[in-house]
Amino acid sequence: MDNSTEKKKWTIMTYMAGDNDLDINGVIDLKEMKKTGSTHDVNVIVQFDRAGEGLQTKRYYLQKGTSLNTDAVQSIDETNTGSPDSLIDFINWGIINYPADHYLLILWNHGQGWDDTDIYAGERGVRERLTRPGRVRHAFFRTSVEQAAKLSAKDKMKERDRKRIESLDKIAEASTIEIPEILVEAEKEKMILELKAGIENTGMKWEDYLKHIKKTEEELKKDWSDNALKRVKHGLILRAVANKENIRVFEQEISQKIEQMLKAVPLEEAKKLDQNRLKDYAYGIIRNEKTFQILENV
């Protein structure tokens, strides 16, 4: 891949959902982008999902003065551009192969991401747009009313969590808590494991992530010292309140929480989980939730 190891100032990523009546427009836009193409300071990369049988999704490193076929650096199987996983994969690929100080992501399509009707009706000769047909999967992050409601619920949960952390911060500031360094170091290790799991779930290797951010694990831990200390204080506060209020967690609650968590885990991965640690984790979540409810009602 051209210039894949040279870090530039910018990498511009264009994610083109062209598996529809915009296919020819996509080709035209690619040629327009090639009029400037990549430069000494800028990488211009594209993922283009085309319409028609036998047309593979291709990734391009666009250059001025070359043919479009020359700029194609990778061909991949049929892609559902409406899937966030496809977009995440493209972004990770771009970051790893075309590193830069800054990144710009362009989402290219009809621009009807919140329209829950059939944008392909005209293509099939249907006058009225129907709701959510089979081919709607090729559209661009189409969000139904139900999904929008879920997003709204997530926003409310984020606001709730923000307020909870704020209340714990106030309690911590008003307290004189001596924190042993061993607890802070243990929390840093936990934070590393959490971040590593999140990175690897996106398909990126941990080593590649560290290379991209130009830090070692030890440097990350050093950067996290204040945050780790805060997390330890929060944990001790919650534990103290739970003990004082004699908060109890029952086996049935733990079983239900574990069952809920495992629904989001592939079966093969679930079999590898340490059941004792999983039980402790579920216990902690339930106890903390009950503790927060008490604090919120004070």
pLDDT at 136 over 80: no
**How is domain 8-138 classified at the CATH fold level?**
Rossmann fold (3.40.50)
Mean pLDDT rounded to a whole number for the chain:
82
Q: Delimit the domains of the chain by residue range.
A: 8-138, 154-296
pLDDT at 5 over 70: no
Instruction: Specify the pLDDT at position 134.
Output: 41
Specify the residue for token string 């934070």: 191
Q: What is the 3-state secondary structure (H, E, C) of the chain?
A: CCCCCCCEEEEEEEEEEECCCCHHHHHHHHHHHHCCCCCCCEEEEEEEEECCCCCCEEEEECCCCCCHHHHEEEEECCCCCCCHHHHHHHHHHHHHHCCEEEEEEEEECCCCCCCCECCCCHHHCCCCCCECCHHHHHCCCCCCHHHHHHHHHHHHHHHHHHHHHHHHHHHHHCCCCCCCHHHHHHHHHHHHHHHHHHHHHCCCCHHHHHHHHCCCHHHHHHHCHHHHHHHHHHHHHHHHHHHHCCCCCCHHHHHHHHHHHHCCCCHHHHHHCCHHHHHHHHHHHHHHHHHHHHHHCC
Task: Pick one of 3.30.420.60, 3.20.20.140, 3.40.47.10, 1.10.3120.10 as the CATH number of 154-296.
Answer: 1.10.3120.10
**What values do phi and psi take at 163, rounded to 5?**
-65, -35
Instruction: Specify the pLDDT at position 201.
Output: 67
- pLDDT confidence tier of residue 139, bands split at 50, 70 and 90: very low
Instruction: Specify the pLDDT at position 135.
Output: 39
pLDDT at 225 over 80: yes
Whether 82 and 17 have beta carbons less than 8 Å apart is answered as yes
**Which of 23-37, 103-117, 208-222 is predicted least confidently?**
103-117
Instruction: Specify the pLDDT at position 150.
Output: 63
Instruction: Specify the pLDDT at position 125.
Output: 46
Instruction: Specify the pLDDT at position 122.
Output: 45
Fold match, 8-138 / 154-296: no
